[in-house]
Amino acid sequence: MTTPLQRNGVTIDDSFAEAFAMKATRIVITAHSLQWARHAAVSATGFATSVIACGCEAGIERELGAHETPDGRPGIAVLLFAMSGKELARQVERRVGQCVLTCPTTAVFAGIDSGEALALGKNLRFFGDGWQIAKVIDAKRYWRVPVMDGEFVAQETTGMIKGVGGGNLLLLARDTDSALAAAQGAVAAMKLLRNVIMPFPGGVVRSGSKVGSKYASLGASTNDAFCPSLYGLVAHSELTPETRCVMEIVIDGLTEADVAAAMRVGIAAGVALGAAGGLLRISAGNYGGKLGPFHFHLHQLLES
């Protein structure tokens, strides 16, 4: 961090976000109404904030109109990311099985056609206890599983591709109100983009972490360098006395360009809020560039 830039009174650190390769997929959940599709999607993406303990990171990408879905009903596009294909398969099966299959009127379809095939309805079909029926329509295989409201239709597989997880922005603000306003504005701007999710609650995480801990059993612990409560206590703090609240936005995307685009609009939203709105600095989390292959330099994002 040598030459910070100033935009609308906000300092943009000469830093970068360090992101990792992940396995990713998209599923499309449709239902009789958008309300029921949303119920299923919210449930399926619950407890999926971080791969540290959730198994996967998942979120609602966007709502789909009836003209955008295979069955002509309203739907929700959901993105899921995991550290391995095996874990992603396990998470998709559990979440679709427990949260989509169970939700009234829903059906589930592949949201990605390319890549490696990942089981979607392939194993869930056995819930039909022998009454399930396969149907190939337009070269796509579906399973029709009898349930109490009719039948649950699930495409047999969805596509699994390489994604990028861990893009991030750190928003350093004057106080809690300012930090929340900056974070909410940035998340709102990012949500307009496709192919990305912000998996934490409301898209925002207040417990940014560093790798390692003084406790051997923990792989991650609080990011003390960005904790205002530890300013003046820890040996090295990234903060200044006027920074009293920091929020982080974590971004997972299907490609490096998608994550970069989301970070770019997030920075722009923060700059638009400006120092007058209480946002003091924008920074990013990294591990010195030694762990993740994707580096998103804030200044480069600002210039592009």
By the criterion CB under 8 A, which residues form the site for other proteins? Answer: 30, 70-73, 107, 131, 133-138, 142, 144, 146, 149-151, 153
User: Least Å distance between CB 30 and other proteins?
Assistant: 7
Number of helices and strands in the chain (H, E)? 5, 17
Q: Which is nearer to other proteins, 70 or 85 (CB)?
A: 70
Nearest CA to 159 out of 20, 24, 21 is that of: 24
Do β-strands 5-7 and 116-119 pair in parallel, antiparallel, or remain unpaired?
Answer: unpaired
Shortest spacing between CB 32 and other proteins, in angstroms: 8
Distance in Å, CB of 107 to other proteins, minimum? 5
DSSP state of 100: I
Q: The tokens of 94 are what? A: 């559990």
Beta-sheet pairing, 279-283 with 10-12: parallel
Strands 75-82 and 107-110: unpaired
Q: Which is nearer to other proteins, 153 or 189 (CB)?
A: 153
Q: What is residue 304's DSSP assignment?
A: -
Q: C-beta of 43: minimal distance to other proteins in Å?
A: 19
Of 71 and 242, which has the nearer Cβ to other proteins?
Answer: 71
Shorter beta-carbon distance to other proteins: residue 150 or 293: 150
Cβ proximity to other proteins: between 68 and 175 the closer is 68
Q: Is 182 within 8 Å of 262 (Cβ atoms)?
A: no
Q: Centre a 10 Å sphere on the Cβ of residue 43 and count the other Cβ atoms it contains.
A: 16
The distance of closest approach from Cβ of residue 92 to other proteins in the complex, given in angstroms and rounded to an integer, is 19
Q: Whose Cβ is closer to other proteins: residue 30's or residue 195's?
A: 30
Q: How far apart are CA 168 and CA 218, in angstroms?
A: 22
Of the pair 38, 144, the CB lying nearest other proteins is at 144
Residue 170, strand partner residues: 248, 283
Shortest Cβ 100–other proteins spacing (Å): 13
Least distance to other proteins, CB of residue 117, Å: 18
Contact 48, 92 (CB under 8 A): no
Nearer to other proteins, 38 or 73 (CB): 73
Q: How far is CA 225 from CA 190, 234, 299, in A?
A: 26, 7, 21
| Residue 150 C-beta: closest distance to other proteins, Å | 5
Q: Where are the alpha helices (DSSP H) in the chain?
A: 34-44, 85-95, 176-190, 256-273, 298-303
